[in-house]
Amino acid sequence: MTHAEILAAAGLSKSDLTGGTLAVHSPIDGAEIARVHETGAADMPAIIARSQAAFRVWREVPAPRRGELVRLLGEELRSAKAELGALVTLEVGKITSEGLGEVQEMIDICDFAVGLSRQLYGLTIASERPGHRMAETWHPMGPVGVISAFNFPVAVWSWNAALALVCGNPVIWKPSEKTPLTAMATHKIMERALARFGDAPEGLCQLVIGGPAVGEALVASKDVPVLSATGSTRMGSIVGPKVAARWGKAILELGGNNAMIVAPSADLEMAVRAIAFGAVGTAGQRCTSLRRLIVHRSVRDDLVKRLVKVYASLPVGDPRKAGTLIGPLIDAGSRDRMLKQLDKAKAEGGTVHGGQSVEGVKGGAYVTPALVEMPGQTATVCEECFAPILYVLTYDDLDEAIALQNEVPQGLSSCIFTLNLREAETFLSAGGSDCGIANVNIGPSGAEIGGAFGGEKETGGGRESGSDAWKGYMRRQTSTVNYSSKLPLAQGVEFPV
């Protein structure tokens, strides 16, 4: 299909794609595929006010009924999976299976949230006072702002929106300026679900497109009590304090510098497959991408030899073509940063395999993945570069390997390949990985929606998606009912009047 056919199939009209000020380019060939209209910063107060008005209605709708809207959204996503997945590939450069996989992730979180809509449980707590009942309940918070990044242009919105909606909150979405088209197509899908639902308040789900000024309006507004922001650590260091200063709740999903420890007992065939996808999937542009390989000295040479061979065979090119495993970086700026990072690694004593620009592919920023043998965990290794660079480090005992893994500022995802039960359990213990995600004999990327997603340290501490991440979109209320005829005070306090 041509670019125009993909855009049309995703439901985007000529008026959606022309006449605006924001130019959108496909990383596949660098072609400009749209000029979309941006939301004015001056329009944001009215948009936020509509969301607040919607909140006052939506919070009174029973949660299972709210879940019905998300169920309908899941149905609409199933019907549009192929078209939206193709648009993800066109606008982000993901290979076809990854574009479709991102939409499947949206469908999965809708399924999760529908069940959740009947399970927003509180607690009954034993009271120390006779004739009293103490309970904990959860209530909606208000408008949720979602600022998403280019690399998962629609899935991150769905993680937040599906949960926020069943929890009783409206959503205002600001996508990356690099990927507004997938957001526009998703918003049209949401509008179809809203039309089928029938009685949702106006302003329940809104889309705003633009640069920092639009995002700043969400970050600064006290009428947006929850702000979910996905992006760089630098961005989070700005957003987090601003939201905290107005007493809002920030859900931050920031950088990752994820490691795999390969132990002497590891199944190297499995490890190689996990390394390949973890390090080069999405052209290394996942927050959970594998960036550091910490290998036991006894298996290091064998593993590196295998990886050099695998890396040299990985097909790089047009992500729409069958057999391609590595598509383009999002833009030329990302390619240039990658090449500069490799120069820094060389200056620190690194030996680089791969990591070159691919010639002969028209327009896009295509590179071969880089495997870099490092003499130690240098300053460059501790930086996250959003590109397919994998640094190889060596260790002699497990404590050393865990220390190397935990030394970096980021704390998102981690894994170990070992057949030794003690090593696996040590890695998962309080003295093991300090990351929000820790896997055994599985790579660091490709998390399921059933578990809470997020990390520690400079990754931000936020949690989205599964488990009890829903609590981040609600406020907790502890209540006590006295059904006796007396008024005892807690802690045995006496106050006769």
Give me the active site residues, please: 253, 287
The residue among 53, 67, 153 whose CA lies nearest residue 118 is 67
User: In the 8-state DSSP scheme, what is residue 132?
Assistant: E
Residue 54 tokens read as: 């919607």
What are the phi and psi torsion angles at 348 (to 5°)? -95, 10
Chain mean position to CA 469: 13
- Region for residue 454 given its phi and psi (left: phi exceeds 0; alpha: psi -120 to 50; beta: otherwise): left
Helix, strand, coil shares of the chain as percentages rounded to 5? Answer: 40, 20, 40
**421, 428 contact by CB (below 8 A):** no
What are the phi and psi torsion angles at 247 (to 5°)? 65, 30
Find all residues with CB under 8 Å of 76, minimum gap 6, and list them.
189, 190, 192, 193, 196
The residue among 297, 216, 215 whose CA lies nearest residue 262 is 297
**254, 459 contact by CB (below 8 A):** yes
**90, 153 contact by CB (below 8 A):** no
- Helices and strands in the chain: count of H runs, count of E runs: 15, 21
Spatial distance between the Cα atoms of 104 and 85, rounded to a whole number of angstroms: 9
If one counts every other C-beta atom within 10 angstroms of the C-beta of residue 169, the result is: 26
Spatial distance between the Cα atoms of 397 and 472, rounded to a whole number of angstroms: 39
CB burial readout 316-345, b (16+ within 10 A) else e: bbbbbeeeebbbbbbbeebbeebeebbeeb
Spatial distance between the Cα atoms of 478 and 490, rounded to a whole number of angstroms: 15
Spatial distance between the Cα atoms of 281 and 289, rounded to a whole number of angstroms: 8
